[in-house]
């Protein structure tokens, strides 16, 4: 069984989608409100904090962090667990 946890990080400001590799290949999306949404898996809490620190290092304001639940592993569909 896969022990990874899936998260969505919402940041104020937009980064180029090419930054995905720096964020451990997390999906990078933009909103019409000028935000960046990072979605991806972490192996542990240290990896999650690492992603949060990378956002800080880019001087982006953290808006939200949500743990996601995998709905269909094959389709990589997610939904918020809040």
Map out the domains of the chain with their CATH numbers: 5-80 (3.30.70)
- Count how many residues are written for the chain: 82
pLDDT of residue 77: 55
Q: Which residue has the higher pLDDT, 80 or 1?
A: 80
Print the SS3 string covering the chain. Answer: CCCCEEEEEEEECCCCHHHHCCCCCCEEEECCCCEEEEEEEECCHHHHHHHHHHHHHCCCEEEEEEEEEEEECCCCEEEECC
In this predicted structure, the answer to whether residue 71 has a pLDDT above a threshold of 90 is no
pLDDT of residue 43: 86
In this predicted structure, the answer to whether residue 76 has a pLDDT above a threshold of 60 is no
Mean pLDDT, rounded, of the chain = 85
CB 52 within 8 A of CB 42: no
Prediction pTM value: 0.79
The model's pLDDT over 14-48, given as tens digits with 9 standing for 90+, comes to: 998 888 888 888 999 999 999 999 999 988 889 99
């Amino acid at each position: 069984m896969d022990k990874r946890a899936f998260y969505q990080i919402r940041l104020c400001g937009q980064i180029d989608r090419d930054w995905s590799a720096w964020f451990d290949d997390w999906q990078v999306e933009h909103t019409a409100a000028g935000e960046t949404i990072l979605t991806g898996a972490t192996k542990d809490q240290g990896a999650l904090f690492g992603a949060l620190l990378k956002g800080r290092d880019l001087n982006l304001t953290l808006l939200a962090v949500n743990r996601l639940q995998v709905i269909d592993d094959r389709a990589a569909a997610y939904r918020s667990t809040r």
